[in-house]
Amino acid sequence: MSIETRLAELGITLPQPAAPVASYVAAVEANGLLHISGQLPFVDGQLMTGRLGEDRDVDYGQTAAKMCGVMLIAQIKAALGSLDRVERIVKLGAFISSGADFTDQPKVANGASDLMVSVFGDAGKHARSAVGVPVLPLGAVVEIDAIVAVKSA
């Protein structure tokens, strides 16, 4: 089954990949690895903002992480032309805007991790970091970047 078919089964429609907002590119392919710049969570064009443990809860954060994952997949497709070129999701780096007492960053990052496994199966299983930070660009609640192994053409 193609990844596109799997996305359709999951009811996921990929958005237009977000354009960079500063001096960087969305993706760089080097030595068989695709490095995707950090992606922010959007729902219906609106940025998901806030801080976990202050004005947002874990469920909100997990949804935001999933939406970052959807944007990562959109960036992968834009960079590779086909999601079937994904050999494996190697690593996700999750940055979670959170208060000093909030310690559930790994639970929040599961929103993106679970999505990758749902979409890519065993190839979606990855290494990961989940880090709490005081603030993210544009007030986003979560930002996630990725490293993806690419099948040789």
pLDDT mean over 22-36: 96
At what angle are helices 105-120 and 58-80 packed, to 10 degrees? 40
pLDDT recorded at residue 64: 98
pLDDT recorded at residue 12: 96
Q: Which runs of E-coded beta strand occur in the chain?
A: 27-30, 33-39, 42-43, 46-47, 86-97, 127-133, 142-150
List all residues 6 or more positions away from 147 whose beta carbon is below 8 Å from its beta carbon. 33, 34, 35, 36, 89, 90, 91
Output DSSP code: residue 24. S
The overall average pLDDT reported for the chain is: 96
Pairwise pLDDT comparison (144 vs 21), residue with the higher score: 144
Confidence label for 142 from pLDDT (cuts 50, 70 and 90): very high
Q: Is it the case that residue 1 has pLDDT exceeding 90?
A: no
pLDDT mean over 46-66: 97
Please classify residue 42 by burial: count the beta carbons closer than 10 Å to its beta carbon, then call 0-12 exposed, 13-18 middle and 19+ buried: middle
Instruction: List, in order of start, the domains of the chain with CATH numbers.
Output: 3-15+25-150 (3.30.1330.40)
pLDDT in tens, 71-128: 999 999 999 999 999 999 999 999 999 999 999 999 999 999 999 999 999 999 999 9
Q: Is it the case that residue 21 has pLDDT exceeding 90?
A: no
Q: Is it the case that residue 5 has pLDDT exceeding 80?
A: yes
